[in-house]
Amino acid sequence: MGATIVEKIFSQKCGSDIRAGEVVMAPIDGAMIHDITGPLAIQKFYEMDGSKVFDPEHVIMLFDHQIPADSIPAAENHVYMRKFAAEQGIYNYDINEGVCHQVVLEKGRAAPGEIVVGADSHTCMYGAVGAFATGIGSTDMGFVLKYGALYFKVPETIRAEVSGKFPKRVGAKDLILSIAADIGADGATYQAIEFAGKTISKLDMAGRMTLCNMAIEMGGKAGIVAPDKITWDYMKGRRKMKSFPLMSDEDAKYAGKRTYKVSNMEPQVAVPHNVDTGVPVSKVAGTHVDQVFIGSCTNGRFEDLEEAAEVLGKKKFSRNVRVIIIPASRDEYLKTLKAGLIEKFVKAGALVEAPCCGPCMGGAFGLLAPGEVSLSTSNRNFKGRQGSTEGKVYLCSPATAAASAITGVITDPREV
């Protein structure tokens, strides 16, 4: 019987034939902590009598959730982490590079065939480059920081086979919202979701990141795309490594197989208060919005902002809508700046912020008042996610967000 990508990664790392369902202690290639989860993980490291991390070269620290510090406790957390970095000789950290998941990938800290963990649930985004990447809790991360390994139950895999060509102004975010609605919020619990098919093979890295980022929203342990030429081209200049084949065997055993066709797909919107509530935009068109957020680790890349700018054209954003746009990293910000898009957004009435998580977590700025509605390109719309528990958050693509920001109501981007 053949093996899935996930089984092959664990087999290679553990030095034996490993199959889904087995419990193994696997070595870790990268461990990421940020300013919210990092202090807790460091405390657990010390509680386990940790003195030196397993390898400072493989520990990544990033500040992105509350940066610049928006409270004294946040500032104290930053100081605590900086002291830990200096003590341990950790140099893979920065306070202003951007959202952790974007930075990990663009700095080459995750690569095909690796096992990478992060103290954040959306760590699964690194599967876009063919890594097995998953979020873990602070206690587990404390263990990883000390030992450089962690117990895993190797997950089964659901294969999502995608075919067809995306219509204009329909893309990866619409696809993943549709898949989440199909599989359900807990339909892939502790399973990996392998995105495959001709559509995926032609999808750029930005789109693959969007898909893998939201695997957790179906309960997934990981999302993954088999590395190909697009992957290896992306890795050039980021990591010194030779390409190698890594794909599931034709006779691999899957927990399930799903097929999706995008040729006739409409733009999708997830309605409050769950991610698996995606519906065609026509079902909610005309819904009033108070705030539009374009950014996050899900959709804050240059390609996303370029898509929003194309929809905007020479128009202005509605004066009745607060439009917040945040590139996902310093690199993405500079790409957007050099292309003239930041000036375009600001002149249209948007507030463009420095790279950070922004309103996504609802912990720093861009909060909703009771009764307000946010339309967001981020990955979660749970009650209270972006402020008041009496507010509402809808999820959509950058194209739909931009179109709606122009009109002041949820709008099909194909009509703008």
DSSP letters, 95-145, are SSSB-HHHHHHHTT-S-TT-EEEESSGGGGGGGGGT-EEEE--HHHHHHHH
Query: Is the distance from CB of 124 to CB of 216 less than 8 angstroms?
Result: yes
169-224, pLDDT tens digit by residue?
999 999 999 999 999 999 999 999 999 999 999 999 999 999 999 999 999 999 99
> Do 308 and 204 share a structural domain?
no
Q: What is the pLDDT of residue 93?
A: 67
88-112, pLDDT tens digit by residue?
998 876 667 899 999 999 999 999 9
C-alpha 286 chain-centroid distance: 28
How large is the average pLDDT for residues 394-409? Answer: 97
> Do 298 and 281 share a structural domain?
yes
Please tell me which residue, 269 or 74, carries the higher pLDDT value: 269
How large is the average pLDDT for residues 364-374? Answer: 89
* 72-76, 91-95, 223-227, 344-348: range with lowest mean pLDDT: 91-95
Domain boundary among 237, 260, 283: 260
Q: What is the pLDDT of residue 126?
A: 97
Q: What is the pLDDT of residue 92?
A: 72
- pLDDT at 382 > cutoff 90: no
- pLDDT at 387 > cutoff 80: no
On the CB side of 342, CA atoms within 13 Å amount to 16
How large is the average pLDDT for residues 59-77? Answer: 88
> Do 153 and 296 share a structural domain?
no
Domain boundary among 260, 279, 299: 260
> Do 94 and 214 share a structural domain?
yes
Structure-token match 């800290």, residue found: 109
- pLDDT at 384 > cutoff 80: no
How large is the average pLDDT for residues 159-175? Answer: 97
> Do 332 and 223 share a structural domain?
no
> Do 387 and 316 share a structural domain?
yes
- pLDDT at 166 > cutoff 80: yes
C-alpha to C-alpha distance for 296 and 294, rounded to whole angstroms: 7
Q: In this structure, what CATH number is given to the domain that contains residue 176?
A: 3.30.499.10
How large is the average pLDDT for residues 290-312? Answer: 96
> Do 75 and 180 share a structural domain?
yes
Q: What is the pLDDT of residue 388?
A: 81
What percent of the chain is modeled with pLDDT above 70?
99
The domain in which residue 407 lies consists of: 268-415
> Do 343 and 205 share a structural domain?
no
On the CB side of 236, CA atoms within 13 Å amount to 6
How large is the average pLDDT for residues 29-56? Answer: 94
Domain count, the chain: 2
Domain boundary among 260, 284, 318: 260
> Do 307 and 191 share a structural domain?
no
> Do 103 and 25 share a structural domain?
yes
On the CB side of 53, CA atoms within 13 Å amount to 28
* Average confidence score pLDDT of the chain: 94
Q: How far is CA 142 from CA 27, 311, 341, in A?
A: 14, 45, 41
- pLDDT at 278 > cutoff 80: yes
Q: What is the pLDDT of residue 1?
A: 81
Pairing of the two strands 278-280 and 268-270: antiparallel
Number of Cβ within 10 Å of residue 210's Cβ equals: 31
Question: What phi and psi values does residue 179 have, to the nearest 5 degrees?
Answer: -65, -40
Please tell me which residue, 39 or 91, carries the higher pLDDT value: 39
Question: What phi and psi values does residue 363 have, to the nearest 5 degrees?
Answer: -105, -15
> Do 178 and 72 share a structural domain?
yes
> Do 330 and 201 share a structural domain?
no
